A and B are shown apart, each in its own frame.
Chain A
Amino acid sequence: MDTDKTRTQSIIDKHQGLQKNLIAILLDVQECFNYLPPDALRHVAKALDMPLIDILGVATFYRAFSLKPRGKHTCLVCLGTACHVRGGPKILEELERKLAIPAGETTKDGQFTLETVACLGCCAIGPVVVVDGEYHGHATIRKIGPILEKYQKPAAS
């Protein structure tokens, strides 16, 4: 617990403990813990001398933040207009079926978090699925199974 506290504090220090850097602080906290833990938010509120409700307001307003722990792998489906007209929604549905969770949720075994994004800007290779920062372009329903297996395997072995 103490180490979590010092990690949060060092992030706050990195941003000079300034209120204007709240978003940057929260982005770093999220990167550190993979989500925004309640204790860390309380800590940030105290350190920046801000009401917790304002911190929570920012944390829930922006899409980048998650208040729930996320899975080991993040699976991001682009639903930008270009991906949409090329069949992005069908890819999302297949992922929802395969992982048995709706978009925005994490699988029970904590392996995958399924998220959507409004555009990644690589429209030429749409529809796009990004797993842990790795791009899988020209996605089709049939490619989804093998893509997921690639990330599932190391965990099983």
Chain B
Amino acid sequence: MKQYRAHLLVCAGTGCVSCGAFKIKAALEQEVKKRNLQDEIQVVATGCNGFCERGPIVLVQPDGIFYQLLQVEDVPHLVEEHLLKGRPVKKLMYVPPAEKQPVPKMKDIEFFKHQRLIVLRNRGRIDPEKIEEYIAFDGYEALAKALSEMTPQAVIDEILFSGLRGRGGAGFPTGKKWAAAAKEKRSPKYLICNGDEGDPGAFMDRSVLEADPHAVLEGMIIGAKAVGASKGFVYIRHEYPLALKRMEIAIAQARESGLLGQDILGTGFDFDLEIVQGAGAFVSGEESALIASVEGRIAMPRQRPPYPAQRGLWGQPTVINNVETWATVPNIIRRGADWFQGLGTETSKGTKIFALVGKIANTGLVEVPMGISLREIVYGIGGGIPDKRDFKAVQIGGPSGGCLPAKLLDLPVDYESLTAAGAMMGSGGMIVMDDKTCMVDIAKYFLNFLQDESCGKCVSCREGTQRMYEIVKAITEGKGKESDLALLEELAQITKDASMCGLGQTAGNPVLTTLRYFRHEYEAHILDKRCPAGVCKSLIRYVVLAEKCTGCQSCKKACPNDCIKGTLKDIHLIDQSKCIKCGACKEACKFEAIEEQRDEAIQII
């Protein structure tokens, strides 16, 4: 293999790609060539680095220097200074908020410092489209061990003992699932990788598939050996084109290397994989619905038991695990269940990946040991709330999860604690909200999502989510009644109790947790006709603050409805009867002279 003196690792996850990472990569390659450095320096596109907020990102190895927010124009300077003259470029480095000095090395940056990378161990360091690079970092070592040194039962025992639980949300012990499928005598048996990541604000599965597809494959081949499956399916959303592409490449490479197909590694074991594309339905993330979707049918869940391990794909025993779960498996086999046991809490072992998004300084993907507190994630890694605003809530677990308030910031993140607080682990989306976020509006948002995505099979879910949505919508419009809150609680409980699948059983969570922790906001909407966060359109009005207005006319030009009056250098006035509350004027004003008024009840004149 060719030796290079430096590697430029360009993050090519979806976040950075959408900020122009491939343009940066092309510019780097061009510049390196121009200076005749192509034999000394290699430019590599890696999977998602995690620190999406700062994209496009380039990591220079072996120095470990982290460059961020790159523009194509920065590239010539960067190559000349760092790679020719050996002077790292300070102005392209990360400067922590409220500090002046840049932090040159990736390992010293707070965002990376507190993470524990196991599933994401290869992120940002290997080219996911090259199997050799995966193998160079101990890839497929666990597979060789499982195939040549362990019996299928020993593999299952190892996974059972490790305490690994499903990372897709419900947290069912993975080993138990495998043992149940292994016990079945019928064949063929199937494996499915659930990559139908539908939770808005969650993208860890996509990131794993993009950054380290071979880890998922290796986990699946090990699982296949353990349960005796001959065929597997990797289900990926069609909204994830990059993940689909990288998985296709990985499967082809694994086949070529004799790691998939007939007689794997010469052990006489046959197993092959196929990719199935999702077509956009949130409910297809539920395992029985996913099976229906792989079979080419409408993704409608069915009653369980029988569980997929007994009767799954085409009625055959099937093991379904989430992307992150499969990618954890090789690590456990390679390093041993004892090692995995030592991470996390009593009931939740190992690490979990979270997508830290919303009103947070460091948006990105983080992998942390189970049991870490919310505060450490939000403030330690996430860097707190931007624009000096106050933390209000963190929403965990997607539409089925819940909103947890500031007083629960010290809650340890594990399956049991989150469920007890009314939220759930879910797939690991963590949406941070500040004081400008209205919790009633958030409940409305999730209910709208759920009533849209409910497959319609159970009356309780189909009607329940719709009725709850209508009630909450009326509340945000100032048409709520005092009796609505009790009615909402009742509806949420019935939807929970009477629905068949996970979607319906958790559909009440967004309402129940916001009511539990933020009841006062509902009351403000209903009793005072006031939206404390200044979000709900019907309950606010935009006004010009006379003392700040300079009469620059920016707002007047921005207004799509022509309802702002005022001549140059005169204080402007918004005609409330014509205002459609689009917010364009507030966005256009450079002097913060436009505000959502919400302190008093708005009288509809």
Q: Which residues of A contact B (CB under 8 A)?
A: 18-24, 26-27, 54, 57-58, 61-65, 79-82, 84-87, 90, 93-94, 97, 117-126, 128, 135, 137, 140-142
Contacts and interface: CB of A to CB of B under 8 A. Distances in A.
The 4 A-B residue pairs with the shortest CB-CB distance, nearest first, are A121-B203, A63-B280, A124-B52, A135-B18
A139 B325 CA distance: 35
Interface in B1-29: 14-15, 18-19
Nearest to A57: B298
Nearest to B582: A93
Q: Which of A61, A93, A117, A126 has the most CB of B within 10 A?
A: A61
B76 interface: no
A84 B431 CA distance: 10
B262 to A, nearest CB: 20
B415 interface: no
B279 A142 contact: no
Interface in B228-265: 238-240
B510 to A, nearest CB: 10
Interface string B526-540: 000000000000000
Q: Which of A57, A64, A85, A140 has the most CB of B within 10 A?
A: A85
A119 B200 contact: yes
Nearest to B557: A142
Contacts of A141: 558, 582-584, 587
Contacts of B298: 57-58, 61
Interface string B255-295: 00000000000000000000011111110000000000111
Contact of A20 (B197, B282, B294, B560): B294
B556 to A, nearest CB: 13
Contact of B587 (A19, A93, A142): A142
Interface string B417-461: 000000000000101010001000010011001000001000000
Contact of A124 (B15, B198, B276, B277): B15
Given A61-B281, A118-B449, A123-B355, A81 B14 contact: no
25 contacts: A20-B295, A22-B296, A23-B277, A24-B276, A54-B297, A58-B296, A62-B281, A63-B281, A81-B445, A82-B200, A82-B363, A85-B358, A85-B431, A85-B433, A90-B583, A94-B584, A118-B282, A119-B200, A121-B14, A121-B15, A121-B239, A124-B52, A125-B55, A126-B357, A142-B584
A130 to B, nearest CB: 8
Contact of A24 (B19, B239, B277, B299): B277
A125 B15 CA distance: 8
A125 B395 contact: no
A65 B279 CA distance: 8
- Interface size grouping (class) on chain B: 35 or more
B473 interface: no
Contacts of B294: 20
Q: Which of B201, B355, B429, B587 has the most CB of A within 10 A?
A: B201
A43 B457 CA distance: 29
B199 interface: yes
B400 to A, nearest CB: 12
Contacts of B15: 121-125
Nearest to A19: B296
B53 interface: yes
B239 A27 contact: no
B52 A86 contact: no
A75 to B, nearest CB: 15
B19 A137 contact: yes
Nearest to A135: B18
B357 A123 contact: yes
B405 to A, nearest CB: 16
A1 B115 CA distance: 58
A119 B199 contact: yes
A22 B55 CA distance: 38
A28 B510 CA distance: 36
Contacts of A19: 296
Contacts of A84: 200, 442, 445
